[in-house]
Amino acid sequence: MTPASYDWRSITALNTSSTLAQIGQFGIPFVVLPLWLEQQGASTLQLSLFASSLWLGQLPGLYGAPRMTHWLGAKRVVLMALLVSALSLGLMATHVHELWIPAGLLAGFGQGLRWIGLEPWLYNIAPGHARGRLVGFHESLIALAPIVAPALCGWLGIEGATPLLLGIGFVLVAALPLAWATEELRTAQQPHQASDRSPPIWHLPKETVLLIGVVVALWGGMSESAFAGLFSIYGKAHQLDGTQIASLLISFGAGGLLLQYAAGWLADHHGVAFACLTCSACTAGMAVLLTLPLSMAWLHVAVFALGGLITAYLTLALIASAKASSGTMARNMSLISMVYTATAIVGPLLAGGAITVLGGNGLMWALATFAVVLTVWLIRIATRRRGIVAAR
């Protein structure tokens, strides 16, 4: 197949839709709303529960999306996901505290539904030889969300319903590019054949590269959700105001945007295991650095690096799933996504407990602990693989 024969129009449309949707479905609810809720007087427990609800809501979306896509088609599922997200932000706009958690669950459901509805659609029509690079490119695009969302809210203001209206606007506009995307024909046999051959989703994969992807997704989910949900508490503990916290969130998102290509390059040239090990070790060091009293300039540098490293967890996990030879891409992506999301529910709760005991720096100590545990496990896996190769 020649480059001209690839469906570049659909690839462009899906990347555009995903980028816009990510701002409204992730950038606003997952990054901006915790700060918004903190200004509404939410306690540490309420912030932790809201952050967890966002990730908990994703699970039924991630689980049900493959079957819904088979029944209804990917385009209808993505449109449904966007409408659900708009509804969740509308519930938040009522300012009824009792609706915070239900709205968080709905926001997560919409995000999960769109994730699995759109990304396998995109990657299946992508050139096979460039699929890994497309994953990295797409992850870089959606990494714009944690930059654009706080930047716009910092410019327009975070008071009142402004962040919520922004989110609704982006979610609805994200539906427009889908008109230019061509959906693949669905086959009746494929889902059943894949499920017949595949072990249950809760079984750990036997293939090493996919196992690494699952474990990295596990710790990555906890790390990202803990940071996104509780960073405002860390900022307050370091005497930062709302504008400064928002600017640091922009730096975090910028790191997530600009460092993903480097993570993919490292995986391509030195292997997924080495890239993951480098990422986890650097994350631990950067988190410890952020417990120190740093100037605002150094805070931006450290948070920028941490944003790239934490975001790279998911990028590398997805690359691992794309490189796996066992199972289908849809199933491997679903496995990675569900593990990432399920553990993200726990992240804010564990980090919230650390904050209760250690104060605002407890967030960074929790992130460092997660990274150290992952680093130790990766070293053991690498050592075991060398031993197996030597035995042969």
Answer left, alpha or beta for residue 271, where phi above 0 means left and psi between -120 and 50 means alpha.
left
DSSP state of 238: T
Beta-carbon contacts of residue 189 (< 8 Å; ≥ 6 apart): none
CA 109 to chain centre: 14
- For residues 121 and 184, is the Cβ–Cβ distance under 8 A? yes
Q: Please state the pTM of the whole predicted model.
A: 0.72
Beta-carbon contacts of residue 157 (< 8 Å; ≥ 6 apart): none
Residue 204 confidence (pLDDT): 53
Residue 305 confidence (pLDDT): 96
Tokens at residue 320, please?
């691992």
* Residues of the chain falling short of pLDDT 50: 1, 187-199, 201-202, 387-392
**181 vs 15, 85, 355, 367, CA distance in Å?**
10, 21, 45, 39
Residue 173 confidence (pLDDT): 97
CA angle 278, 144, 306 (to 5 degrees): 30
DSSP state of 188: S
CA 117 to chain centre: 15
Domains of the chain by range and CATH?
1-180 (1.20.1250.20), 196-392 (1.20.1250.20)
Tokens at residue 375, please?
């680093």
Residue 193 confidence (pLDDT): 45
Residue 202 confidence (pLDDT): 46
Residue 385 confidence (pLDDT): 62
Residue 81 confidence (pLDDT): 96
CA angle 220, 344, 225 (to 5 degrees): 80
